[in-house]
Amino acid sequence: MYKNGIRYENGITDKGYPSSGWAKGLGFELSWHKGPFIDSSGNNLELNGVFPRDLLFILNERFNFLQSSEFNCAEYMEVLSHLECCLEILEEREILRKKRGVCGFEDI
């Protein structure tokens, strides 16, 4: 358990791939997306949970908000720098997975 009573569980597929899971804490509860989000014909499937990148985006928005307030500080600027770097890395990963034809599938 972490601060604010945060609890979590990560799930895996039959193949041993990371999939599903949940996290709960004071003021929040989330479920990770489970399964592919594109079918074999290339059609989008319904999303059933959140992706880690979504949370990074939300955190980035929150720290931008705090940094634009009277609470701005050097530490928030550093956090923003790291969050933006994380988001860029994940964007690059998505581009590479699209090029390989595995984006949205449970393939490595």
Domain range summary for the chain, segments of one domain joined by + = 1-50, 51-102
Which contacts qualify for 76-85: CB closer than 8 Å, 24 or more apart?
Answer: 83/56, 83/59, 84/60
pTM for the whole structure: 0.84
Q: Is the pLDDT of residue 1 over 60?
A: no
44-88 tens-digit pLDDT: 889 899 999 999 999 999 999 999 999 999 999 999 999 999 999
d(CA 108, CA 48): 21
pLDDT bracket for residue 3 (50, 70, 90): confident
Helix (H) or strand (E) holding 9: strand 7-12
Token output for 42? 């290339």
Q: Quick check: 27 and 6 in contact, CB under 8 A? A: no
Residue pointed to by tokens 């699209």: 98
